[in-house]
Amino acid sequence: MQTKPNLQPLNDSCKNATMKQTKGSKGHASKPFDMVFRTMAEKMPELLIPLINEAFQADYPLNSEVIQLRNEHQKETSGIITDSLIQIRDTVYHIECQSINDTTMAIRMFEYDFMIAVENAVASKDGAYNVTIPKSCVLYVRSNKNTPTSHIVHVRFPDGNVCDYKAPCICVNDYSLDEIFEKELLFFLPYYLSRYEKFKGAWKEARVTEQCLSEAQTISKRLNELAEESGKKTLLIDLTKLIIRLTNYLFATNPSVKEGVEHIMSVGTYMLESERLEAKGRAEGKIEGKLAGRIEMLMNLYSNGGTDEQAIHLLEATDAEIAEAKRRMNTK
């Protein structure tokens, strides 16, 4: 007598969790974590390449072409939206962003990837179909000791064979700043300071605040250095703005950290906008373009609480440029 397999069907809450609704019916895509993720994935896709290399031990060059695929997948009565579906060369990658632990994430990932595979099924001459599951991973922008290292679904076929579906989990909190910059995982940077949220009850302790702001200073400095070396100033300006935006959300109730991080990152942003400011100076015709841009950078620095020391060491300003910037500010 055959024994029935011990199957435990999904409860109602788990079933509902597998139905990730479209933008029109659910506010998922409006959450700051997801918005930052989608912005980088769609508008700065080159940042996904180091993440793919890290998650799947690939070795794509940073200038590899990233093809954006359709993220919305329709079922009979509803739709789901994947966070990022891309193709590099002949391989499809699916990346989901998570800011909380979710016990249904494994079955949700399996559902997404099964739908993607079915949508792209290819019929063979003998009438059979070939389906390919994309390479998938979950990026946990917040994590703790309970966050899994991978999401697994055991798939049992009618003939008794069992195949494991597995999606690795990548946790931003597992990476130091040195590792992030060494591996060029710049996609992680907007989420990096979220690791300080757990100290919410101790914000009066100067040590914690100082450590957070010190890390922000390191991020700003290294982004500026990278911008000068790589020539990707516009990309890194945009990345800096996303760091500020998400930090403002994370520390909305902690003004000392929120304002401190915004000031630190903004100083770096002014440095990176030197070409724009120089062009503006030329258009105004007041003085030679390059000098005009540098004077305006100095005025921006001082209006945001900057010091003479920062002007000299960060902007390499001369005494004459500092004096002119202060004169203009005093005459406004």
CB atoms within 10 A of CB 204: 8
Alpha helix stretches (DSSP H) within the chain: 12-17, 32-43, 48-56, 105-119, 177-182, 189-192, 206-230, 233-250, 255-272, 274-284, 289-303, 308-315, 319-330
Q: According to the model, what pLDDT value does residue 273 have?
A: 43
Q: How far apart are CA 191 and CA 195, in angstroms?
A: 8
DSSP for 218-244, written as a single string: HHHHHHHHHHHHH--HHHHHHHHHHHH
What's the sign of the alpha-carbon dihedral 289, 295, 297, 303? Answer: negative
Show the tokens assigned to 58: 């690939």
Show the tokens assigned to 59: 């070795």
For strands 91-98 and 135-140, give the pairing: parallel
> Which residues in the chain come in under a pLDDT of 50?
1-30, 73-77, 269-276, 279, 282-283, 286-287
Interacting residues of 131 by C-beta distance below 8 A, sequence separation 6+: 117, 118, 120, 121, 122
The helix/strand/coil state of 20 is coil
Alpha helix stretches (DSSP H) within 155-273: 177-182, 189-192, 206-230, 233-250, 255-272
pLDDT digits (tens, 9 = 90+) for 291-317: 777 788 888 878 877 788 777 766 777
Q: What is the pTM of this model?
A: 0.71
Q: According to the model, what pLDDT value does residue 307 have?
A: 81
Q: How far apart are CA 53 and CA 47, in angstroms?
A: 11
pLDDT digits (tens, 9 = 90+) for 144-158: 999 999 999 999 999
Q: DSSP character for 83? A: S
**How remote is the C-alpha of 201 from its chain's centroid?**
26
Q: How far apart are CA 327 and CA 332, in angstroms?
A: 9
Q: According to the model, what pLDDT value does residue 16 have?
A: 46
